[in-house]
């Protein structure tokens, strides 16, 4: 566990360096290696692009074993800390999930509050309890796993809230109190919402961005000026490359 603990601490320290940490989202050994070669100090694995790379579906349509196989291949290919999106946890007990994610070589974990197998949103307390149990299980191993707690309060897919911003804050505060080391209000709609989240929450906040078009809250410079701690790309990097590949090959096959 010593090497894992060192990498986990490196990833945790990057969240508190005083500048915005950009964690490019990868899906296989090739994308991971290319981004590390470009100079990235750490990576995150997205469930959506990983599933696409395997010909499987997002939202836990691939099995936990499939997801861990993809994660293991990526962590074996690079020498930087890697965080992995584990959706809502694949209906797996926290201690088992922590054991298996560490065994696959990841030192960060992203967990959302949409339970895909039941097509529902966890309650704030239920999600915080799951996050807290993940943190406790990780602490017991001596690895400072970077638990990133995501809420889908802004998405409005399985549950619609009158005030999504207030709901996101309520849920993420509970997760922070339970031990989350970073929180992720996915699809925060604009700069005003992001500023409010930063003001109301205690620890690092993750914002999703498009590698070309920026985020709903602005460019990377804008996010830095706001004090956003962490940026990831979700499925957008892979989608952008898909567009580029199409442009490259179309003249040859049309």
pLDDT tens-digit readout, 175-184: 999 999 999 9
Encode pLDDT of 37-47 as tens digits.
999 999 999 99
Q: 0.85 exceeded by the pTM?
A: yes
- Residue 254 has a pLDDT of 85
Mean pLDDT estimate for the chain: 97
Q: Which residues pair with 22 in a beta bridge?
A: 231
The C-alpha atoms of residue 222 and residue 136 are separated, in whole angstroms, by 35
């Amino acid at each position: 566990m010593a090497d894992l603990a060192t990498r986990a601490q490196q990833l945790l320290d990057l969240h508190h360096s005083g500048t915005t940490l950009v964690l490019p989202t990868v899906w296989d050994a090739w994308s991971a290696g290319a981004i590390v070669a470009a100079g990235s100090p750490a990576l995150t694995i997205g469930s959506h692009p990983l599933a696409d790379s395997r010909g499987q579906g997002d939202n836990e349509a691939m099995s936990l074993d499939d997801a861990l196989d993809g994660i293991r291949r990526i962590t074996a290919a690079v020498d930087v800390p890697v965080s992995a999106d584990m959706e809502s946890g694949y209906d797996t007990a926290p201690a088992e999930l922590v054991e298996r994610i560490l065994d696959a070589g990841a030192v960060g974990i992203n967990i959302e509050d949409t339970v895909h197998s039941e097509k529902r949103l966890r309650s704030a307390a239920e999600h915080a309890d799951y996050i807290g149990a993940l943190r406790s299980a990780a602490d017991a191993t001596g690895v400072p796993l970077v638990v990133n707690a995501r809420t889908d309060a802004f998405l409005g897919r399985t549950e619609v809230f009158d005030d999504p911003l207030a709901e996101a804050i309520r849920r993420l505060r509970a997760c922070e109190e339970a031990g989350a080391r970073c929180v992720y209000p996915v699809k925060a709609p604009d700069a005003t919402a992001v500023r409010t989240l930063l003001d109301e929450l205690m620890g690092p906040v993750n914002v999703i961005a498009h590698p070309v078009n920026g985020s709903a809250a602005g460019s990377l410079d804008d996010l830095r000026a706001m004090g956003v701690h962490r940026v990831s790309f979700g499925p957008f990097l892979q989608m952008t490359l898909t567009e580029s590949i199409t442009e490259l090959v179309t003249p040859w096959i049309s």
